[in-house]
Amino acid sequence: MKITVSALLFFGFILNSFGQTNDEKINKLSNDIESKVLEWRRYLHENPELSNREFNTAKYIAKHLRSLGIEVQEGIAKTGVVGLLKGDISGRVVALRADMDALPVTERNDLPFKSVVTSEYNGKKTGVMHACGHDTHVAILLGAAAVLSKMKSEIKGTVKFIFQPAEEGAPKGEEGGAELMVKENVLKNPDVEAIFGLHINSATDVGTIKYKSGGIMAAAQNFEINIKGKQAHGSRPWSGVDPILTAASIIQGLQTIISREAELTKEGAVITVGMINAGIRSNIIPERAKLVGTIRTLDYDL
């Protein structure tokens, strides 16, 4: 699985840009540890946890970091973990970051390490799966920590390994994620001068790393639209106001914001409705409908 080695080398090249590491040694150590990174990833994939509930994941990460002789801080932004590796030569502070949480998705395949975990999300029972690659991100960063811990004498400065919970968004009514970590001073003591992360992509060729100037992972904002109609029998729609029909029109109209208002030659943008709640019977026009969705933007002006 060459992407693992490529990802480890990516972190190494970043540190090398600060005059800190030896490419040949990183390459050798990365290849040596590749099978362990795969093992860690498969364990994490089989044992996913939802946002702000990454209790066992945090313990797993902390135990591994301590075994490497890395100073560990736990409980940052509820379940976040930070490892601190101080090089033997004074220098700058660089942070490497990975996200930890899984999604409320039921895994449907026959892999020997598939997730069969179930939980509750928004009041509904659901499967839990690392469908966005955070298990791989954690495994890669654990691998980077293992490699760099063996190069302590060559590191000019300090490396912070930041494992962030709730990247997918904290549960309703809770704080979490990167914002809460920053609020709790994850980038202080020592102060981070630069921070780097990565995201896997199944559409990217094995062994390849992609990058671009400017934003590459979009900003995300959720929205909720509540529609109030007038209840009626399904056989007499003219006697009521149909919020489901209105919802359908709104969904179609939302897409024209992107196709007609967003300057897509400058940066991409997406509006997606991911949830529609309305009605209780096939023959009753309901009184209300609710749309919930996400907006993803790369342009600060949008």
8 pLDDT higher than 70: no
Tokens matching residue 24: 């040949």
Beta strands per DSSP E along 229-301: 232-233, 269-278, 284-285, 288-297
Cα–Cα dist 302/292, whole Å: 19
Using pLDDT thresholds of 50, 70 and 90, give the confidence band for residue 3: very low
**77-132 pLDDT, tens per residue?**
999 999 999 999 999 999 999 999 999 999 999 999 999 999 999 889 999 999 99
Domains of the chain with CATH codes: 2-197 (3.40.630.10), 219-297 (3.30.70.360)
pLDDT of residue 122: 85
Tell me whether strands 118-121 and 124-127 are parallel, antiparallel or unpaired.
Answer: antiparallel
* pLDDT mean over 209-213: 81
Tokens matching residue 173: 């009514």
